Chains A and B, each alone.
Chain A
Amino acid sequence: MILLCLFMLYPVWYVLVNSLNDGSDALRGGIYFWPRMFSLQSYRVVLEDQSILRALWITVAKTVVGTLTHVFFTAMVAYAYSRKELIGRRIYMYLGTFTLFFSGGLIPYYLLIRDLHLLDSFLVYIIPALFSFFNLIIFLSFFREIPEGLEEAAKLDGANDLKIFIRIIIPVSMPVIATIALFTGVSQWNDYFTGVIFINDPSLQPVQTFLYRIVSESGSTQLQSGSINRTVTMQSIKLATMVVTTLPIVLVYPFLQKYFVKGFMIGSIKG
């Protein structure tokens, strides 16, 4: 088990120590456990590069906005669908279930996004990611466990359904909300493909798309060539960018771990 853990961690460690080494020296290879010539030069270049900073900012913005709106919207719809007295409930559920098994595929989806004028728009990160029927099912199984008396009492006090949802359901559903928020947040943070196909404007691309473009064979032209000097190489920039894009998630994740394990169980066993 310990061996397995080392095996799991080592690739990440390897990238970290190589990124902390002087760039041209690292090209000789042979750095395994500690940097040979310690240097933060690559990080300085990365953190001074305007295009990387802007990409980071876009990523933060889309992760925060996208996660909040997704959780609120999906939970709201799930709450409506969880109520037994909802007229047309079966129809709504069939409508959703079918989407889990069949889809139009990439091309019609691309054409839809184009027709909605979401190409080269920040909203392409938010609106199409507003809802997920899969997450709705996870919410549903949680909402079913909430005692009905809670809603009844609020209703007697004259609250409407939207108010009940915001004032009562959201506060008592924090474990499942935290879980879905974590899942959504991670996938928003890590998503590069939306940026690759729907965004041409470099000022709107998230950092993962930026990284994709320098990792894949297509582009090393992204970086301002003037900023690359002898101690920093394309490779070391790449590694430093990888570390910078990953660090936030790695730092947040131990704190959220207890939520997602719990939430995963909520979603999986009963669903």
Chain B
Amino acid sequence: MLTDAKAQETKALRKRDARQGTTAGLLRKIAAQRYLQGMAILGAAWMIIFNYVPMYGVIIAFKNYMIAKPISEAPWAGLEHFREFLQDDNLWLMIKNTLGISFFKLLIGFPLPILFALFLNELRSVRFKKAVQTITYLPHFLSWVVLGGIVATWLADTGIVNDVLMRLHLIDEPIFYLAEPGYFWSIVIGSDIWKELGWSAIIYLAAIAGVSPELYEAATIDGASRFQKMRYVTMPGIKGTVSILLILAVSGIFNSNFDQIFVLHNSLNNSASNVVDIYVYQTGIASARYSYSAAIGLIKSILALLLLLAANYTTRKLNDTSLF
């Protein structure tokens, strides 16, 4: 009996020791890697301040936030701002513009770099290929402000577009393209393709370079033409990369390339250029309606997240590639 109790006691003691041992051991281990932990924690601290504090800050969407007081003192507003947003006159216009621009960008801008990469890959001369690449990447390195300036110069009343069209007698008077909502989407999509075509192709070229040369040799022996090789070897070979990029592109459909539209946007083309991000900027930063604007931003973030999950799920079901 006595020995039994004693045995139990020592067992419990040993257990406690072991527990303390692991905590102490863990602390000792952390202390041993203090430099490594220091480096890691600096990164975590940055993320907490610049990523997670704004996520917490989103609660102002449920409050009536005033500039002078801290967030915690602002009175709760419940879902008031969300309800107001659903009744906003700009709502449908904004959704139409955001999704419309993104949809056409996806439809035209997504396959073009793939085609471009496929053709570029077929070029025999390495020198020429390099030159083409160098030139087509170039616009990627220009800022949207400069590109906006170029677009404005081209489309100005004395710009080259009006000039050529007038000389060809297709139009009689110069058209103010940037002031006409009807042209805005084409301008945005066209300039985006111009800027990013070469750059987006890099990643596909990298994927093509990763396709095993043996497959091409086998296809050659089987008598495949160049086109057939492209169709039956290269295209399946880059399918994974294409899927991943498609997931990212689809999930970014609510992000309408703010930098670009912000530059080209003006009050005359507003009915075609007012996208969610522009509206958030205007109501939030320019008119200081912080809570309302944060509510719109929150809806957008949630929709984008859901879309990402949905796109990821779909491609995983369809062809076994996914981000996570």
Contact = CB atoms under 8 A, between A and B. Distances in A.
Are chains A and B native binding partners rather than an unrelated pairing? yes
A29 B167 CA distance: 12
Contacts of B37: 80, 86-88
A109 interface: yes
Contacts of B116: 4
Residues of B contacting A: mostly: helix
A175 interface: no
B46 interface: yes
Contacts of A216: 148, 263, 266
The bracket for how many chain A residues form the interface is 35 or more
A253 interface: yes
A206 B43 CA distance: 27
Interface stretch (B100-108, B129-137, B229-237, B313-321): B129-137
Contact of B285 (A29, A83, A92, A106): A106
Contact of A77 (B43, B50, B55): B43
Contact of B50 (A8, A128, A215, A245): A128
Given A105-B301, A111-B60, A249 B142 contact: yes
B168 interface: no
A106 B136 contact: no
A107 B42 contact: no
A80 B39 contact: yes
A179 to B, nearest CB: 12
A102 B285 CA distance: 21
13 contacts: A4-B132, A12-B142, A29-B162, A32-B160, A77-B40, A79-B39, A92-B44, A104-B51, A107-B290, A133-B47, A162-B35, A215-B263, A269-B207
Interface of B: 26, 29-30, 33, 35-40, 42-44, 46-58, 60, 71, 116, 119-120, 123, 128, 131-139, 141-146, 148-150, 152-154, 156, 158-160, 162-163, 194, 197-198, 202-203, 206-207, 209-210, 241, 258-259, 262-263, 266-267, 277, 280-281, 284-285, 290, 293-294, 297-298, 300-301, 305, 308
Interface of A: 1, 4-5, 8-9, 11-12, 14-15, 18, 27-30, 32, 73, 76-77, 79-81, 83, 85-89, 92, 95-96, 99, 101-112, 116, 128, 130-131, 133, 136, 160-162, 165, 186, 189-193, 197, 208, 211-212, 215-217, 235, 238-239, 242, 245-246, 249-250, 253-254, 257, 261, 264-265, 268-269
